[in-house]
Structure 1
């Protein structure tokens, strides 16, 4: 996987029921398991030496990606959302 990850469409049953789409970033747990995270939940990211993400609900996640990689993924996520809101065809 490249250092920059484009947002992925993610629908669970609750989101599908209300007809909304959410975009998330892909991260990797220390054991190698991949998971999707809504970056709106990120409150803080630290490297101590493992990369630790503090979520707005108080939960911590430890991931393989560096702080820089997470920052790049969040920027790409935000850029995609912004471009979609402007109606830019390149990002749709």
Structure 2
């Protein structure tokens, strides 16, 4: 899950595992696999960075569980 901000400043959390694609229009339009979409303030690169960080935390937690 990652935190994003709507254009009106409202923050929300989205399941980044459900992102199908992100378009820059010039705002970022996040389209989910179910067809829903969200226009957000964050740039495409910021959304990607947050998704990579989220996935890294998942991998790190899995490694700790193996020890």
Shorter-chain TM-score category? over 0.9
Q: Secondary structure at the match of 1:87?
A: helix
In terms of fraction of residues, the more helix-rich structure is 2
Gaps of 5+ in 2: none
2:53 to 68, 76, 87: 76
- Report the TM-score when normalising by structure 1: 0.68
Q: How many residues are matched? A: 65
RMSD: 1.0
Q: Which runs of 4+ in 1 moved over 4 A?
A: none
Deviation at 1:34, TM superposition (A): 0.2
Return the index of the structure with the highest Cα Rg: 1
Deviation at 1:50, TM superposition (A): 1.2
1:63 to 23, 28, 40: 40
- Report the TM-score when normalising by structure 2: 0.93
